[in-house]
Structures are given as C-alpha cells and as structure tokens.
Structure 1
Amino acid sequence: MEQYKNILENISKYVTLNEEETEKLIGIIRTTKIKKRQFIDQPNYVCQYRNYVVKGSFRSYFIDNEGKEHTVQIAIEDWFVSDFYSYITQTPATLFVEALEDSTIFQMTYDDIEGLCKEIHGLSEYFRITTERAFAFSRKRALSNLSMTAEERYLEILERYPNIVKRVPQKVIASYLGFTPEFLSKIRKNLTSKT
C-alpha cells in the first residue's frame, strides 16, 4: 500500500474512498518504468492509459507542418499526463508524450477506469474534478498567452512552478511558453540585469 501513498493522498484531497474501493482502484494500476526520451503516447495511436507520474517528468507536444515542436503540457510528480483528447474520445492521438527523465508512472486503462467509475461514485467524482481543473488551467493558459507579455508568462511559470523551471530543459520551457530558447535566454538575461 505504501507505493500507492501519493496517488491515494491526491485522491483524498477531493473525495473519500473506503478500503474496498481503494483495493479495487489499486487492482487496476500498472506500475511502469519509462526511460528518458521514451514515448508513452504518439500520434495516430489511440491513448489507452491515464498516466499518473510517480517519479520523473514528461512533456506532451505536437509538431507543426514546418517541423517546429510546440509543448502543450509539462508534468512532474503527482500529475496526470496523456494525450487527454485521445484518451477521453478514444480516437487517434495528435500529441507525442515523452519522458524528460527516467520516470515511473502508474497506468490505468480507459476501460478499467470507466468500469470502476460506474461502480464507485467517489472515483467518478475524483476524475470529474481533476478533468475540470485541467480544463480550467488550459483555458487560463490560453488567456495568458493572449493577454500577457513573454516576460510576464515566464515570471508566472517561475513563480508557480519553480521545480519545473529547475528540472526541465530550457528549450522545453521556451516551447511551452511559445517562443525560442534564444528569446528565453534574452528574457532571463534582462531579468538578471534588473536585480
């Protein structure tokens, strides 16, 4: 039970599961080790798993028609990561989901989660809440990209997620924020000169 401590604590922030429900949830979890640069989702394949990051970090991204990468999500411990559109609709993925470090994840299949959610109201509630929060965050990020300067967006991620900025390669941070690594270096240099 100790190995599931983090995910169970995450769930308990939102809902309460009894012992039997907890055992059923643990019964559908598969622990998987992922090497740095390994993909857990790729375009044209249906995303079968909801992935919970136990240890490590990931990014999800797409490649545009000109071959440029655009990072849409960065995930570290205690976060879920997948091509969520593919997972929820069970249609082919459009994103790559790649490990940025050697990582460990808990994987739960779409069918297993759907089955348990029909049976366990608390679990259904948990996934509803976390999906809504992810949607709200995605909407906030889209608005930030439209209304904030590049420097303000960098300062926001620096303030909210200092761990991510320290661990994730700068080219990934730049891609996530919508600019080049060179432009990010310029922003960081400007901020350093202001202090």
Structure 2
Amino acid sequence: MTNQLKQNIQKHINLSDTEMDQFCNLFKIKKIKKKKFLLQKGEICKFEGFVNKGLFQVYHIDKKGVKQVLHFAIEDWWITDIDSFTNQKPSGLFIEALEDSEILIISNADKEFAYENLPQVEKLFRIMTQKSHVALLRRMIDNLSKTADQRYIDFIEKYPELHRRLTNVQVAAYLGISHEFLSKIRRKITKCQKNKL
C-alpha cells in the first residue's frame, strides 16, 4: 500500500529502509467513495494526505454560491488544507472525491513526531511546501496575465491525464469561467486545429 508513497518520498529525500518504514507506518489508509468529502467547510483539517488512488477536488464556495476550484489531486499528489491543518482552525474549504479514492493520511501529531525523530522528513515537507507555493504564484500570475483561452490550453498541456478525467464543468470551475464560455473556447480551438489541417 505504501510503495507509491515511498517512491514519491525518494524523489525528494534519502531515507534508510528503516527510516522509510518508520515514516510510512505513521500513515493510515482511508478509502473515500465518489462524491464523498474528506473535509468540509467548518471542520478542522486533521490530516495531510497522499493520494494513492483516485481524484480529489479542493474548492471554496463564494458568497454568491459559486464554486471556485483551487486545485485537484490525483495519484502521487499530496492534499490538505494547509491553513486549517497548520493552525488547527476551521477550514473554509471542501475536499471532495471525484472518483472512488484511496488516500494515505498523516496526523499533525504524527508529522511532528516524524520531524523530531526523522530530521529528513522536515526537509521533505519544506520542499513540497516550496513547490506548492511556486505553483500557486504561477497560477496567480497566469490568472492576471493570460486569457482564458491561454489558461485552458496551458492546463490541458500541463495536466493531460487529469484533463481526461474531469468534466467540462470541473475544468471551468478551476479556470474561473462559466461552462458555456469554456465550450466556446473548446469550439474555437477545434476550429483552429481543423483549419491547420
């Protein structure tokens, strides 16, 4: 069950076999059915998770009732509400399974135990936090400087497997546009591709 997690960890840090087993044994496996929630608004996030199988969306609902998807997570990706998890305060986010999924979760207490007993683990989470921060900054810059067409093309080029597993409504919520507008963009791209042939 932890082979995929071990491979992910090895991309970032070096642990001995004993240390790797000690760290991975801190994770608990959780199975989530499609359309069920791993976290709901108002709850305190008590986990940081590694997606072993499946697909999740992390979203916020604004005052007008519009769903704003912050990000998705598929196999080999990590997921949490870092603000709620770190500060132990109620979350403003929802984490929902879009497929039947399986996630390996670590609690705050077990993560702190790992920090104290396996110093390399702190490096692992520092690297992951930096990568998440960079991705967030790039997304913010793209939202400010690129058209919806460009953002959609970037999304399908960067995440082809993820794109195939999402509905147009889900992709539109991620891009911050309406489903109808996304349909227009897709028609325009298809027309341009046909004209090139």
TM normalised by structure 2 equals 0.96
Q: Does 1:164 align with 2:140?
A: no
Q: Deviations over 1:107-164 (max 9, x none)?
A: 1111101111122111110011001101110111011000000000000011000111
Which residue pairs with 2:189 in the alignment?
A: 191
Which residue pairs with 1:139 in the alignment?
A: 137
Q: Which AA in structure 1 matches 2:101? A: S
Write out aligned runs for 1:39-54 (5 A): 39-54=37-52
In structure 2, the residue corresponding to 1:65 is in which secondary structure? coil
TM normalised by structure 1 equals 0.96
Q: In the aligned structure 2, how far is the partner of 1:73 from the partner of 1:117?
A: 27
Which residue pairs with 1:123 in the alignment?
A: 121
Which residue pairs with 1:19 in the alignment?
A: 17
Gaps of 5+ in 1: none
Check conservation: 2:6, 2:24, Cα contact below 8 A: no
Which residue pairs with 2:63 in the alignment?
A: 65
Which residue pairs with 2:101 in the alignment?
A: 103
Q: In the aligned structure 1, how far is the partner of 2:88 from the partner of 2:77?
A: 21
Aligned length: 193
Which residue pairs with 2:150 in the alignment?
A: 152
Q: In the aligned structure 1, how far is the partner of 2:156 from the partner of 2:98?
A: 19
Deviation at 1:65, TM superposition (A): 0.8
Deviation at 1:26, TM superposition (A): 2.1
Instruction: Give 4+ residue runs of structure 1 displaced > 6 Å after superposition.
Output: none
Gaps of 5+ in 2: none
Q: In the aligned structure 1, how far is the partner of 2:139 from the partner of 2:46?
A: 26
Q: Deviations over 1:15-68 (max 9, x none)?
A: 101122112112211111100011111111110010110010000101111111
In structure 1, the residue corresponding to 2:12 is in which secondary structure? coil
Q: Which deviates more from structure 2 when the two are superposed, residues 16-25 or residues 121-130?
A: 16-25
Which residue pairs with 2:82 in the alignment?
A: 84
Q: In the aligned structure 2, how far is the partner of 1:82 from the partner of 1:180?
A: 26
In structure 2, the residue corresponding to 1:28 is in which secondary structure? coil
Which residue pairs with 1:178 in the alignment?
A: 176
Which residue pairs with 1:29 in the alignment?
A: 27
Q: In the aligned structure 2, how far is the partner of 1:5 from the partner of 1:137?
A: 26
Q: In the aligned structure 2, how far is the partner of 1:103 from the partner of 1:79?
A: 13
Q: In the aligned structure 2, how far is the partner of 1:29 from the partner of 1:43?
A: 24
In structure 2, the residue corresponding to 1:75 is in which secondary structure? strand
Identity within the alignment, %? 35
